[in-house]
Amino acid sequence: MPGTSSRHGDTNQLGRRNLSDYQRAEVALLLEGLFRGQARERQLATLKQNADVPNLAPRDDTGKTRTAIAQVAGVSHGTIDKVKAIQRDAIAIVTATKWSHSPCRMSMIALQGRIRAL
């Protein structure tokens, strides 16, 4: 639908009952940049520009980015941390598995050893 924000499109997918917690967390993590931007704006808004500014009442929309993402996904912030760790580490594991015993990898290691010897 024209005019629909990407945030609505992302969060709309979270209402699907056939998504696992992991999948909902992945979809919610797509919104991390949005939440980080909002958090940064809040940080900048609360900076003291001069010493004689009176204390303001706390705002209701404060909180950690991971907590906001977890709330959107309907999971705990610990689950969000675990999903991020899996996403971060899975690339290294998949890459290591693909290249660990291939003849191309063995040739590359041997070539690197020869270059170092020069």
How many domains does the chain divide into? 1
Mean pLDDT of 12-16: 62
Give dist(CA 107, CA 41) in Å, integer. Answer: 51
Selected residue with higher pLDDT from 46 and 56: 46
Q: What is the pTM of this model?
A: 0.55
CA distances 44 to 40, 41, 80, Å, are: 6, 5, 26
- Domain range for 75 is 6-48+59-89
Q: Is residue 75 part of a domain?
A: yes
pLDDT of residue 23: 87
Q: Is residue 73 part of a domain?
A: yes
Q: Is residue 20 part of a domain?
A: yes
Mean pLDDT of 60-85: 85
Percent of the chain, pLDDT > 70? 50
Q: Do residues 66 and 81 make contact, with C-beta atoms less than 8 angstroms apart?
A: yes
Q: Is residue 74 part of a domain?
A: yes
**pLDDT of 18-52, one tens digit each?**
788 888 888 899 999 998 998 888 788 777 654 45
Q: Is residue 106 part of a domain?
A: no
